Structure 1
Amino acid sequence: MRALLTLLMVALLVLTLLAMLRGWRYRARRQAAVMPGFFAPPATLGADLLPPLKGVYVGTVHAGDWHDRIAIGDIGYRAEATARLTAEGMYIDRVGASPLWIPAQTVRGARAARGLAGKAMGIKGVFVVTWALDENWLLDTGFRGDDRSVYPEWEAALQTMAPVSHGNTKQANDSERNSAR
């Protein structure tokens, strides 16, 4: 009887994991059908505005909804990473995954937040950059730096890249409130 119950539990666990994988793949296909492609990084990066920041790429979500993870390609996967900030934009070099490039002209804001992509990491534990993939897609990308004391410097530098007046202030504020929950 004990062996039968053990096999039943293992089978239930395997079915649950398969259902989760199927859901993740469906989400990625659905998003890929409606979202434009991500920006390709430039061949060479300019000089760093700040020292590179080592840490963990947390994920990218729709701005305003810290749980709505983007699942296209390998963008949805956490990875150790190094973030670099140049005058041209922010480059996130992810270990074991493709790099993520956020051009300067697409930046809409930056802030320290409590969490992103379903991961709560303490008060101001994640550095979040809000950026526009195009006029219809406003995204939040999260990075948890090993040294969180530099977040204010990164925020100030990225805020200078953001347009002075943009219509996404309310959405960025809503996003901050959602991540504080």
Structure 2
Amino acid sequence: MERLLLTLLVVAFFALGVYGMWRGWRRQARAQSVRVPPFPEVPEGLGEPLLSAKGLYVATTNAGHWQERVVTRGVGLRGPAVLRLYDEGVEVDRAGAVSFWIPRESIVDVKTAKGMAGKVMGTDSLLVFTWRADDIELDTGFRGDDLAVYPQWINQVKGGAQV
């Protein structure tokens, strides 16, 4: 009987912890939905991309604050993605989630980084786009399957935009 009560107590404590994390995630999403504007939708008729890369969408954070993940509007979850560069901007095509668009004129910088929102590597293996969504700056991180294409991405984005 003692063992059963102790087991139930541990399970209840674990469930309470999961519930608290879920509530915190939802509260953060509600608070951010006021501050962070809706992300631009991918425009129609873009043609062929200049560059394309498969990999992992890591996160979008407040610019300069690599641990402050933006969780509103479904962009808080990591997952497989394809990054496509067009003359007009960058498409972040996320598998099983809403894709979004980073307009070329909104891009402030593009660089590599070692970590972002819980994903930390020993090398500069993240491609990070710093961009403006209305009046706030965001960092969007992507971990490509082929890291050797990062210099090509950086040169293309910086060469074609006012960065």
4+ residue runs over 3 A deviation:
none
Report the CA distance between 1:100 and its aligned residue.
Answer: 1.6
When the two structures are superposed, what TM-score results if normalisation uses the length of structure 2?
A: 0.94
Q: Which residue of 2 aligns with 1:75?
A: 75
Aligned position for 1:18: 19
Match of 2:149 in 1: 150
Q: Which residue is 1:59 aligned to?
A: 59
**Where does structure 2 lack aligned partners over 5 or more consecutive residues?**
none
Determine the structure 1 residue equivalent to 2:9: 8
**Percent of aligned pairs sharing the same letter:** 45
Q: Are 1:107 and 1:161, in contact at CA under 8 Å, matched by a contact in 2? A: no
Q: Which stretch of the first structure deviates more once superposed, 3-12 or 147-156?
A: 3-12
Give the RMSD, CA atoms, in angstroms.
Answer: 1.2
Contact in 1 for aligned 2:38/2:73 (Cα 8 Å): no
Report the Cα distance in structure 2 between the residues aligned to 1:66 and 1:107, rounded to whole angstroms: 17
Residues 1:98 and 2:98 aligned together: yes
Does 1:159 pair with 2:153?
Answer: no
Return the alpha-carbon distance in structure 2 between the equivalents of residues 29 and 138 of structure 1. Answer: 19
Give the 3-state SS of the residue equivalent to 1:66 in structure 2. Answer: coil
1:46 aligns with 2:51: no
Aligned length: 162
The Cα of 1:82 is off from its aligned counterpart by 0.6
**Equivalent-residue separation in structure 2 for 1:2 and 1:158 (angstroms):** 61
